[in-house]
Amino acid sequence: MTEPHRNRATEAFFGRRKGKPLRTQQAAHLETLLPAFRVDLVSPAPSDIKTLFAQPVDRMRMEIGFGGGEHLIHRAVESPSTGFIGVEPFINSMAKLVGQIEAKGASNIRLHDDDATQVLDWLPDSCLDQIDLLYPDPWHKRRHWKRRFVSPVNLDRFARVLKPRGLFCFASDIDTYVNWTLLHCRDHAAFEWTAENASDWLTPYAGWPSTRYEAKARREGRKSAYLTFRRV
């Protein structure tokens, strides 16, 4: 049976694709640099996705919706032996990160500039050590909650591509989305919450560089939660 075509009406997990007009250099980065880093989803995924990188890597990590890219570029420079796949459909954010990759020589990053579910469905089983979903769009209105990326179908996707004991890390300053994620992961047989006390989920991850979204939340008086779930 042919899989139904997915579109913005059925799986609209992200919002707008483009903001302000790109500067000349940013547009040039997208045209000349992005193709070298883009994951080729047309070809079948290699059985060992570490071969996506020219240099040897011993771990694989995926960040969904990397926004301004502050966290992704920080982690890539911090951990050169880890291969990263970053997904971000917002063109302006992608242009910003590509420039940072060139400036810092982070050759351990591969990119996808569209829907993250396309990458998740392309990846082979049990290939990722960690998935990061940091400050995703909360889709505040109740009628839009179906667009939240944390959902039973996407947790199924996470469970398939994560290695046993692999991690799903989620950060948000929106209480309703934090509770939503806790409930969905609680009800999914493949995940267990690793927190042992309140400080575990109120304390930023080790080496956390913070992001502009987090800074905005703090300015507006909101606290962040940092949830870690283990693939059982």
- Model pLDDT for residues 50-75, shown as the tens digit of each residue: 999 999 999 999 999 998 899 999 99
Domain boundaries along the sequence of the chain: 24-231
Overall CATH class of domain 24-231? alpha beta
> Quick check: pTM over 0.85?
yes
Instruction: Give the per-residue pLDDT at 19.
Output: 55
Please give the positions annotated as active site: 137
* 112, two tokens: 């996808």
Residues of the chain with pLDDT under 70: 1-20, 22
Question: Which residues touch 152 (CB under 8 Å, ≥6 apart)?
Answer: 184, 187, 188
Instruction: Give the per-residue pLDDT at 20.
Output: 66
Give, as one character, the DSSP assignment of residue 173: S
Q: What is the pLDDT of residues 15-42, one digit of tens each?
A: 455 556 767 777 777 778 899 999 999 9
Radius of gyration of the chain (CA): 17
Q: SS3 string of 74-87?
A: HHHHHCCCEEEEEE
Instruction: Give the per-residue pLDDT at 7.
Output: 45
Instruction: Give the per-residue pLDDT at 18.
Output: 56
* 19, two tokens: 């903001």
* Separation in Å, CA 98 to CA 15, 27, 35, 53, 93: 21, 10, 10, 16, 9
